[in-house]
Amino acid sequence: MSSIEPIAAAAAGYDLYAVVGNPVAHSKSPFIHARFAEQMGERIEYRPLLAPVDGFEQTARSFIAVGGRGLNVTVPFKLEAHALAQRLSPRAAAAGAVNTLRFDADGIFGDNTDGVGLVRDIEVNLGVPLQGARILLLGAGGAARGAVLPLLERAPHGLTIVNRTAGKAEALVEQFGAAAREAGCALAGGGPDAVMPQPYDVIVNATAGSLDAALPECDARAFGAATLAYDMMYGAEPTVFMRHASAQGARVADGLGMLVEQAAESFFVWRGVRPDGTPVLAALRERLQSTRA
């Protein structure tokens, strides 16, 4: 569905939601939310919504005008969604970006569920506790920034943020210093030389390198047999980061579970009920694997 076309209201008795982006046809969100709605017995209609690159706000306001209740926001509009929101959750304010908008009597509420989705996938789906863990976060862009506060809220022993441009990682350390102290977490960051030459419990690749088959700079000694190496990216095949980590003996995971769990959190923000992501993740994984055949 495009903002150039008339935006039709939802069917009678159904609440209207959508994922907005450019491009958006590839989005798995309609599949995910249709299954969440079925699972929870919620009467919603969920659509893809293509917005012109320079027309996010107009598209969002047109969606509100026809009774839209909420939006998932994807590339390249997360900063514009942050600016559109009249109220922000603490995690959206910390991330500086919004991926979930809720429209209600109090106005436009903006949230960021990406970091929560990451944490839930690691702890619930993969069974790796983050409390007391030594975590290495690779990258200091928007994806990394959205993950820092939810990670700190799990009270890890230490969180090291590493970026090719050291100043960006150091800026995040400064931004989240108070939250780290409150969590009792040792927070550090810098360039690739900030990686300790010993295994971490969890390594999260929040760079976009896997899109270009590029490895982030990271001392190979950071990977061990007990390390979970997690790539926020996903695909039908393991990413280059996952293949590299596996060669170092680490356990690996991609970001498909994060996608499902952040969607479950968005569903909760909208509807007040939290779906079980496990069966939806399994169905989505099966669909993804079928593309390899």
Of 70, 48, 69, nearest to 3 by C-alpha is 48
Instruction: Give the position of tokens 């450019």.
Output: 22
114 is known to lie in a ligand binding site: yes
Distance CA(193)–CA(169), nearest Å, equals: 12
Distance CA(216)–CA(112), nearest Å, equals: 25
83 is known to lie in a ligand binding site: no
Please enumerate in sequence order all residues whose Cβ is within 8 A of that of 267, keeping only pairs 6 or more positions apart, or say none: 33, 36, 40, 42, 273, 274, 275
Residue 82 is inside which H or E element, if any? helix 78-84
131 is known to lie in a ligand binding site: no
293 is known to lie in a ligand binding site: no
291 is known to lie in a ligand binding site: no
234 is known to lie in a ligand binding site: yes
29 is known to lie in a ligand binding site: yes
Active-site residue numbers?
Answer: 78
Q: How many CB atoms lie within 10 A of CB 108?
A: 20
74 is known to lie in a ligand binding site: yes
144 is known to lie in a ligand binding site: no
96 is known to lie in a ligand binding site: no
Distance CA(81)–CA(97), nearest Å, equals: 7
Please enumerate in sequence order all residues whose Cβ is within 8 A of that of 89, keeping only pairs 6 or more positions apart, or say none: 109, 110, 111, 112
262 is known to lie in a ligand binding site: yes
99 is known to lie in a ligand binding site: yes
Question: Burial level of 165, CB count in 10 A (0-12/13-18/19+)?
Answer: exposed
- What residues are paired with 33 via a beta bridge? none
- Confirm if 26 and 56 have CB atoms less than 8 A apart: no
Which residues line the annotated binding site? 27-29, 74, 99, 114, 139-143, 163-168, 232, 234, 255, 262
Q: Which residues are annotated as a binding site for shikimate?
A: 27-29, 74, 99, 114, 234, 262
Q: Which residues are annotated as a binding site for NADP(+)?
A: 139-143, 163-168, 232, 255
